[in-house]
Each structure stands twice: as structure tokens, then as C-alpha cells.
């Protein structure tokens, strides 16, 4: 009997599902103001991760050659 085909792991979908489960579990346990602060902290964390990824990508790209001024011969 053939084994069921396993789908590809989709990290963004997994992350979104985990986030949804997290907030659903905390809905009644944490006051709305605290949830708001946690949401802002998560946003700042993700922005920091984005900045680190941008720096890592920039390191992989070749740096442009600096333009040197042309020599001018004065007679």
C-alpha cells in the first residue's frame, strides 16, 4: 500500500497557526491592555528580525566598485 504523500512544510503558515493558537489560549487569561503590549512587542521583535535579515542579505551582495575621478592632463 502506498504511503500518504507528505506536503511541504510551510514555515509562514506554521508560524501564523502558532500565533493564532497563542492568542486564543491567552484571550481570557490576560487583560486586553497586556495583550496590546504583547502585540506591540511582537511587532518590534519581527521588525528587528527583518533588520537583521536585511543586513545578512546585504552582506551576500557584491559591493560596487568605487568610481575614481579621471585624470586630467593640464598643458
Q: Report the range of poorest mean pLDDT among 2-6, 29-33, 39-43, 48-52.
A: 2-6
* Over residues 23-45, mean pLDDT: 87
DSSP codes, 17-52: HHHHHHHHHHTTTS-HHHHHHHHHHHHHHHHHHHHH
Kindly report whether the global pTM for this prediction surpasses the value 0.85. no
Residue 30 near residue 38, CB atoms below 8 Å: yes
Q: What is the pLDDT of residue 67?
A: 84
Q: What is the pLDDT of residues 37-46, one digit of tens each?
A: 988 999 999 9
pLDDT at 49 over 90: yes
Amino acid at each position: 500500500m502506498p504511503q500518504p504523500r507528505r506536503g511541504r512544510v510551510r514555515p509562514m503558515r506554521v508560524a501564523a497557526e502558532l500565533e493564532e493558537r497563542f492568542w486564543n489560549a491567552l484571550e481570557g487569561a490576560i487583560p486586553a491592555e497586556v495583550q496590546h503590549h504583547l502585540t506591540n512587542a511582537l511587532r518590534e521583535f519581527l521588525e528587528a528580525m527583518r533588520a537583521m535579515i536585511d543586513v545578512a542579505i546585504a552582506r551576500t551582495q557584491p559591493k560596487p566598485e568605487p568610481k575614481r575621478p579621471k585624470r586630467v592632463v593640464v598643458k
